[in-house]
């Protein structure tokens, strides 16, 4: 399988919006998210900013053999931020492509494209995502990352340098 990751321009933003529906569906196992009367999940808060803020937010499409396979949303913190340079805001791989190595390849490509201090967070009760990210980040950094838990929510975050 040939994985590609490409920055999505505003005129193609609809592909991220469409894939976001599947992402939000996956999250119904962990969060209280409902569809509206038309069967549509609500708009992801702040998604439009990924095409409005010059140089600070990046929306990537992950493809496999040319077909959409997922997406990644990356935020760059303000220069001089004391803790992190980049935050992997959201990351999604369609079920069909999970356990194929596509997610690992895509994550490693993002870490390579944006050298610096990273933060990746998972929902507290999504243990599958936690295991995935510990493995992916551990492999990329040779095990050199630290993990902290949000004091109120209990969500784990991994911190590392690329």
Question: Mind listing the domains of the chain with CATH numbers?
Answer: 3-161 (3.40.630.30)
pTM over 0.85: yes
Q: What is the pLDDT of residue 87?
A: 96
Distance CA 122, CA 120 (A): 7
Q: What number is the average pLDDT over the span 55-84? A: 91
Packing angle of the helix pair 127-141, 102-113 (nearest 10 deg): 50
Q: What is the pLDDT of residue 77?
A: 85
Distance CA 1, CA 42 (A): 32
Q: What is the pLDDT of residue 16?
A: 98
Q: What is the pLDDT of residue 55?
A: 76
Q: What is the pLDDT of residues 14-68, one digit of tens each?
A: 999 999 999 999 999 998 999 999 999 999 999 999 999 677 999 999 999 999 9
Task: Give the Å distances, CA to CA, from 37 to 23, 32, 33, 41.
Answer: 19, 16, 13, 10
Residue with tokens 């990924």: 50
């Amino acid at each position: 399988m040939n994985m590609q990751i490409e920055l999505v321009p505003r005129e193609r933003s609809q592909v991220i919006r469409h894939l976001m529906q599947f992402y939000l569906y996956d999250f119904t196992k962990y969060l209280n998210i409902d569809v509206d009367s038309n069967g549509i999940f609500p708009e992801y808060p702040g998604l439009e900013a990924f095409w409005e803020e010059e140089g600070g937010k990046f929306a990537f499409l992950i493809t496999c053999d040319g077909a959409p396979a997922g997406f990644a949303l990356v935020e760059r913190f303000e220069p001089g931020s004391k803790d992190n340079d980049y935050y992997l805001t959201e990351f999604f791989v369609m079920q069909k492509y999970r356990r194929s190595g596509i997610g690992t390849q895509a994550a490693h490509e993002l870490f390579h494209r944006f050298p610096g201090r990273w933060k990746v967070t998972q929902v507290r009760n999504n243990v599958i995502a936690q295991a995935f990210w510990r493995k992916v980040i551990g492999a990329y950094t040779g095990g050199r990352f630290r993990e902290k838990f949000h004091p109120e929510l209990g969500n784990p975050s991994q911190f590392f340098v690329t």
